[in-house]
Homo-oligomer: A and B are copies of this chain.
């Protein structure tokens, strides 16, 4: 049993985490949120109070912290008495926050892989570069660290595990498909931090096929998927965190990640990339100023959090899992449909933040009640998916399945 949550980060995802923690503060205890900028944390709490989201009267406090400073994070954990840290800050702070959790013996959750600001697309499996090197220390310290427990990675890992456990005897392939069929009404915007968004697409696209790492370029391989609710959608083979853990869990299966992109996004991305404006390496202007192009691009693009009020439409994210069942070829699509407007009305964030921010709160609840408090470092597919998906069903991200028997809700 663990209580008291410290949220690291104060962006759109953190706002969803805050709302969802508040809605369950009877089970989670005191809530704290910390980021570099105190005012952003206070704005998140104001949004929570504005919606009357706290289930019972309780603590929700804002803190300023430099999350790159392990000592500062550890001190904050001790000061707040937090036993669960939900890290939804920049991907650059994962390891310093994890170290603070190991040092203080509290549970750690994140939603995206650690990144070094100076490197893009390191060698696969990505988790091997930073996270998994700390597996033993987590086990020794009895620290529960759940890696990548957003939607994708996260819920889609649970979907893969569920398909393998319950729906197929053998798994041949896991194709994760992420479609955002929503519209933000801006000329161009990324749906989350542009720096992280573009970094995902500038490096090598790794997929796991025929038991080896396959390398492609972004937008090199595309196909149309005909999906529930959102209809036919073009998606492209994309590098993504979950490929790097699912390929270890299911090495016999092909593991691919597909992300939907419109032609407009691809055009803007292509122009910026080909001009060198997505580079993380500094260039020097004629005036002698050293500038990282990607950081300037981030500065001129809309703040993704600002898109929420006008965002309409739906997302469809799920796993097409193919294999053998009772001796015959079989396929299931396990998925969720989320709605941008509903997400905004509930939490003040759009659907992309909603799908990413709700799952770590479900995971925190499973740590709080002991179900997932495993005392070691895991990826989501290492855990029993059913209590997690059941919680999500009730919290706003219901799971559905489409297979030979039709399309229906999945409840356990």
Contact = CB atoms under 8 A, between A and B. Distances in A.
Nearest to A294: B285
B287 A295 contact: yes
User: Interface size bucket, A side?
Assistant: 20 to 34
A135 interface: no
Interface string A241-285: 000000000000000000000000001100110111101000111
The copy count of this chain in the complex is: 2
Nearest to A300: B276
Contacts of A287: 295
A187 B298 contact: no
Contact of A286 (B187, B285, B293, B295): B295
B295 A283 contact: no
Contacts of A285: 291-292, 295-296, 298-299
B274 A188 contact: yes
Interface in A305-352: none
Given A272-B271, A274-B187, A275-B268, A289 B295 contact: yes
A301 B283 CA distance: 11
Contacts of A274: 187-188
Contacts of A284: 299
Given A271-B267, A271-B271, A274-B188, A283 B299 contact: yes
A24 interface: no
Contact of A275 (B291, B295, B297): B297
B300 A293 contact: yes
Interface in A81-116: none
A191 to B, nearest CB: 16
Contacts of A298: 285-286
Nearest to A289: B291
A296 B283 contact: yes
Interface of A: 187-188, 267-268, 271-272, 274-277, 279, 283-287, 289, 291-293, 295-301
Q: Which 6 A-B pairs have the closest CB atoms?
A: A276-B300, A271-B271, A285-B299, A285-B295, A283-B299, A187-B274
29 contacts: A187-B274, A187-B275, A188-B271, A188-B275, A267-B267, A267-B271, A268-B271, A271-B272, A272-B275, A275-B300, A277-B277, A277-B296, A277-B297, A277-B300, A279-B300, A284-B299, A285-B291, A285-B292, A285-B296, A285-B299, A286-B295, A286-B298, A287-B295, A289-B289, A289-B291, A289-B295, A291-B291, A293-B296, A293-B300
